[in-house]
Chain A
Amino acid sequence: MQIANVRSYLLFLIIPFVVALVGGTPVDADDSAVLLKGATIHAMDGKDPFVGSILIEDGKIKAIGKSIKAPKSARTINLKGYHVTPGLIDSRSRLWLTQTSVSDKGTKADVDIELGIDPWLKDWQEVASQGITSVYVQPASGGLLGGYGSVLNVGPFGSPADIVFKSKTGLQCSIGLTGNAQSRFAQVKSFEKLLEAAKKELDKEKDADKPPTPRKKGETKKGDDKDESEDKEDKDKDKPEDDKDTKKDDKDAKTDDEKEDDKKKTKDPVKIALKKLLKKEISIQIEVHHADAFQRVLKLIDKYKFRATFDGLTKAGSAADEIKSSNRPLVLGPFLETGTIPAYRKDAQLDWIAEEVNQDGRLWALSGFPTSGIESRMLRSQAALAIRHGVSHGSTLAALTINPARMLGVADSLGSLEKDKVANIAVFAGDPLNPSTPVRMVMCHGKITHEAEHKAGEFVSSDTQQTTDELPKVLPGKYALKSERIMRPDGSLAPGYLVVDKMKVRITTRKPKNTPVYRMADQVITPGLVSVWATLGQQGNLWDQTESDSSHLQPIDAIDPTTKIANKMLEAGVIHIGVAPAATTTSSGALGQLRLGTADYIVNPAVAGQFVLQSSARNVNRYPSSLSSQVSMINALLNGETAESEFYLTSTVANAIAREKQANLEQLKNGKRKTIFVASTDVEARSAVQLAAKHKLKGVLAGVGDWMDHIDSLKENDFGAIVVNLNVTVFDERLEQYVALDRAGIPLALASESAKQLRMSASLMVNAGVDPQRALVAITSGGAAVVGMDDVSLKNGNRADFVIWDGNPLNLSSKPLHVVVDGKLTANK
């Protein structure tokens, strides 16, 4: 039986890199070495990936290579077919920060982020389970000069000293996140004034303390440069200019009172920070998104010569060539917006990035700029989206491993798998940058922070190389598409011909006679995606609270399917939508089926009925106001006692409504329509199952609750389940629940407001352990079947609604090439 997400802790030795604790942590006597054997290793040390083994001892990589000898006592783990990479690094994370310190903006460079760290927060589990072993955390962007950030470990370390890997790594600064061009200009100006003041004070100090012997420029200079070269490539163009300015000739000896004002050194933290910056002791991370601000800051760097990394640059497309020539390290992203998009990042342009970062050796890192600790888990989804924007697989992997390590000055121990480096290792069951690939094991400082039994899968990267035919703008009445990967009803992808004739589909393995055939190579053809619960942004029309028994309502009448949101969903591959009433009344009416991209969009106005047992349907001012009354009301409705309407209606209208309600309820009882129960707490789910059993309904459970201990009763009453708003901050525990439902054979459907969220939820579930084929079925034909929509799979005689992808839709890096409705191409971009 697959054990999902078992977290076992090996004994491990903590070597504190930063501050040598007096007395240190005791060396564990029976610390056993670990040998990872037979995996494809992406060492990120410049060489190509190879199949070999790694020996880990005392938290360090003892040996790595094609074949290495290992002590007998070592615990060997056979990783044949798995992919091993260095532990991933999120270079702009909010992990370990408490609720209040996440949004804390320093303004006078006096905030030390380590003061806001809570080492007992449990969010690290979700982040570690996605292969991330180190994070860089700094004060929230927004302050001109926020304060100092630190590099932190990701694992159950428990004491602050063990969490911090390198403290005071860099200075945080952000320009132009609020306001317009003027305020950006003003911010750059004030930044320049501060730099000028710091420089003046620095020069005064340099003149004041004339050392007796002119120091030999060579050796001390090299000392300064040592870690700087670490950051910048050797063939970095502007390196020679740095040397020119330090050759200052020294003035006469310093008098006593000059030593005096030296002592009265400035206490202003901003000056202290900037002086360190100008002396190149620390680097500065500048988040800037607009081209004009970027260009001005670039001039400042050339003038004052300090080490800077640029973050964001989401709207700096027009300054692409300055970025190229400046060759400054960059932290780019987010490629996938998970939350609400802040103003300064609205309609970002990201197409210049691929060409810039694909040059080999270009120093850049990738981050999702998350707003909460747990969101760092989406790092691999950001990588998949970067690949979708054209960035190469190699450059993206480097942007999560060796590049950030170099930029943060920790490349001597992190970022790549080399001898004597820290054993931060991530093992994937397939392509590391495909977010739906399950993570087999993650190690931080030699300590296993995540381990799960996942079979090595075929989640190989999906870039299609072969040439394909061009589809004509207007497709003929009858044609066939030949592809290696056509989705069958059970979710498997197999070669064959998809024949479209008079808006119906047929799948054959033999070449159809006298019909034009277009060769699609190995592009994936699947039925249109299905979101069983969506409001297309028109919640207002569906929010009806007046009557607690509104079984007669059909929300599909109130939906306009031609809005911008609907078109965007169609372009992203969603064709079938379930329009459900809002969960504000106990018996809230019928769920309708909608088809995008065609004139007659209503497929079936009433596919399923909906009962809500959640507290959202309980209203203090009208019956029912408690759960038990909701249960008795539903019982009464199903026993035919419909309460008379509370409206003052003429009797004919009132009777008509009552008949309509009764008819709808009848359809539920005779099983023609499914019955959706919206329930979240344990007692609500239990009542739902009992009601369905009592009245012999075909039940579907929807809601956010933890139904772990209802799985057998759900199975017994052959319930379906709707996965509702699985988002970035959901705990692994809830994902395990869907894995258990899937293993128990309970059909799943997904409800989400956008195609992106639909595919993200599916990839999260596959990553947690749901079978990939069943997940593919869940977001297409299976989902439709759960709520009783008619069959949308690619089976003989069904409608010709399908999508052609450049890869498996579960992998976020693949995108829809064509969306076909009724056999016709819909106008996509």
Chain B
Amino acid sequence: MGNSQRTNNMKFEFTKRILPCLTIVLVAAFASNIFAQAVVYKAGTIHTMAGEPLTPGQILVEDGKIKAIGKSVKSGNAKTVDLGDDAVIMPGLIDAYSQAAFYNGGSADEITNEVTPNFKAVHSIDWSSRTLRRVLENGTTTVNACPGTQNVVAGISAIVKTDGSQESVMNDDAVMLASLCNDPASRNRSRSRPDSIYVRQPTNRMGVVWILRNTFQKTTKAGDDSELTNLKQVLDGKRKLMMVSRMSYDLNTIGSLTDEFDFSPIIVGGHEAYKIKSILAERKFPVILQSNPAGTTTGREGSELCWNNAGVLHQAGITVALSGSNLLAEAQFAHRHGLDRDVALAAVTSTPAKMLGIEQQVGTLEANKDADLIVLNGDPLEFTTSIRWVMVNGKTIGQKKDK
């Protein structure tokens, strides 16, 4: 379908709207000066996630970007805001596998076919969805909006900012999603009439693996302009692949699949990854751990949970990221159960950014990166700490009047 409808659409919008107002360019220049008023924020601690935290630290934000950050910053004509020395600034949280961006948290799947590599989740994103606003209030500034797990090859995710403004699409043609778990097979037996021409094939786990292997075989043989170009990019290593998988035997199967076809997926879910941590470490598959109900010992698909899954995987040398609607709580409980402090903080900021390949723009607080940050009134890894306000692209959201 050629380049994505989104960017072409953006160009169309751009010419239609901006060109006619070139005549008042002077006013625009003047306006942009006021609009992007530079501000210096002073705080007791700044976790830059790129080296040691600054205690205290200052950060200059202008035009939605971080202009400078350090112990002290040349403020020029910028306004300075002192947040107090109990305030802590850290990068905006990043959820590398999220469904929060779809219509009130539903999933976006085209389930009329089991393999839909060209399905784009970006069209189903509901910019004012309630779940998007909830994760924003919990500190998440960037999400990788992934299609659901009802298809074996689900489609292509979109990386967006959570401030709900339409211009905040970072990459609408990001990661390919596949699932190697029971979900694609789970509902097919009961859903449609057996004689319907639309019966879906995978009715059990073996079926899922067969379809996956079959699709990969077809992709290796496929020409350039066929349906499977997106999947071909995965095998050529030009596009990242995320595979949803939870049980230890599923993770084993992924191991063997990567031997047959050369691709190296990012594991999502990984509820029983701690059981086969050596295999994953050897193949250097990064793992995104999903949140589990508190205080329980069994997770989805009957998986046996280990509360310190993140800590165990980290010790085994596997890069670990966390996912969930309240990322800060996930990091807090991971640290309480055994993951070291800075690894826990990285698991919700810089690590997912590296995984998604957007570490140039977000994930850490460094000069000319996006001004995505959250301000807390204490140590982020304490249950008694609350988020004061969140900033995405330089715009503060939920800022309370007091300081």
A and B touch in the complex (CB under 8 A): yes
- Chain A residues with Cβ below 8 Å from B129 are 683
A632 to B155, CA, bound (A): 14
Tell me if A694 is interfacial: C-beta within 8 Å of chain B.
yes
Tell me if A629 is interfacial: C-beta within 8 Å of chain B.
yes
Tell me if B126 is interfacial: C-beta within 8 Å of chain A.
yes
Tell me if B256 is interfacial: C-beta within 8 Å of chain A.
no
B162 to chain A, nearest CB (A): 15
A635 to B13, CA, bound (A): 17
- Given contacts A622-B198, A628-B122, list 12 more A-B pairs with CB under 8 A: A623-B112, A624-B110, A624-B112, A626-B124, A627-B108, A628-B120, A635-B5, A683-B127, A686-B127, A687-B123, A693-B13, A709-B128
Q: Are A622 and B112 in contact (CB under 8 A)?
A: yes
Q: Are B120 and A682 in contact (CB under 8 A)?
A: no
Q: Are B12 and A626 in contact (CB under 8 A)?
A: no
Q: Are A693 and B12 in contact (CB under 8 A)?
A: yes
Residue from A628, A683, A686 having most chain B Cβ neighbours under 10 A: A628
A23 to B16, CA, bound (A): 68
Among A624, A627, A694, which residue has its beta carbon within 8 angstroms of that of B9? A694
A625 to B121, CA, bound (A): 13
Q: Are B198 and A626 in contact (CB under 8 A)?
A: no
Tell me if B400 is interfacial: C-beta within 8 Å of chain A.
no
A628 to B126, CA, bound (A): 11
Tell me if B72 is interfacial: C-beta within 8 Å of chain A.
no
* B interface residue numbers (CB < 8 A to A): 1, 5, 9, 12-13, 16, 103, 108-112, 119-129, 166, 191-192, 196, 198
Tell me if A681 is interfacial: C-beta within 8 Å of chain B.
yes
A631 to B121, CA, bound (A): 12
- Chain B residues with Cβ below 8 Å from A686 are 127, 166
Q: Are A628 and B123 in contact (CB under 8 A)?
A: yes
* A interface residue numbers (CB < 8 A to B): 620-629, 631-632, 635, 681-683, 686-687, 690, 693-694, 709
Q: Are B124 and A682 in contact (CB under 8 A)?
A: no
Q: Are B111 and A620 in contact (CB under 8 A)?
A: yes
Q: Are B192 and A631 in contact (CB under 8 A)?
A: no
Q: Are B111 and A625 in contact (CB under 8 A)?
A: yes
- Chain B residues with Cβ below 8 Å from A687 are 123
Q: Are B198 and A628 in contact (CB under 8 A)?
A: no
Given A625-B110, A693-B16, A681 and B196 contact (CB-CB distance below 8 Å): no
A697 to chain B, nearest CB (A): 14
A789 to B330, CA, bound (A): 58
Q: Are B109 and A690 in contact (CB under 8 A)?
A: no
B298 to chain A, nearest CB (A): 31
Q: Are A621 and B109 in contact (CB under 8 A)?
A: no
The 9 closest A-B pairs by CB, nearest first: A628-B123, A683-B126, A628-B124, A682-B128, A631-B123, A623-B112, A621-B198, A627-B124, A626-B110
Among A625, A629, A681, A709, which residue has its beta carbon within 8 angstroms of that of B126? A681
Closest B residue, CB atoms, query A626: B110
A622 to B110, CA, bound (A): 10
A627 to B120, CA, bound (A): 11
Q: Are A626 and B108 in contact (CB under 8 A)?
A: yes
Q: Are B112 and A690 in contact (CB under 8 A)?
A: no
10 A-B contacts (beta carbon < 8 Å):
A620-B192, A622-B198, A623-B112, A625-B110, A628-B120, A628-B124, A632-B123, A635-B5, A682-B128, A690-B9
A690 to B108, CA, bound (A): 20
A806 to chain B, nearest CB (A): 47
Residue from A623, A687, A690, A709 having most chain B Cβ neighbours under 10 A: A690
Closest A residue, CB atoms, query B121: A628
Given A628-B119, A628-B120, A693-B13, A682 and B110 contact (CB-CB distance below 8 Å): no
- Chain A residues with Cβ below 8 Å from B120 are 628
A701 to B198, CA, bound (A): 33
Q: Are A694 and B12 in contact (CB under 8 A)?
A: yes
Given A620-B192, A694-B9, A683 and B110 contact (CB-CB distance below 8 Å): no
B124 to chain A, nearest CB (A): 4
A693 to B8, CA, bound (A): 12
Q: Are A628 and B110 in contact (CB under 8 A)?
A: yes
A63 to chain B, nearest CB (A): 43
Given A622-B198, A625-B111, A626-B109, A682 and B16 contact (CB-CB distance below 8 Å): no
- Chain B residues with Cβ below 8 Å from A693 are 12-13, 16
- Chain A residues with Cβ below 8 Å from B191 are 620
- Chain B residues with Cβ below 8 Å from A625 are 110-112
A681 to B120, CA, bound (A): 20
- Chain A residues with Cβ below 8 Å from B108 are 626-628
A626 to B102, CA, bound (A): 11
A17 to B140, CA, bound (A): 53
A620 to B188, CA, bound (A): 12
- Chain B residues with Cβ below 8 Å from A690 are 9
Closest B residue, CB atoms, query A635: B5
A681 to B130, CA, bound (A): 12
A644 to chain B, nearest CB (A): 15
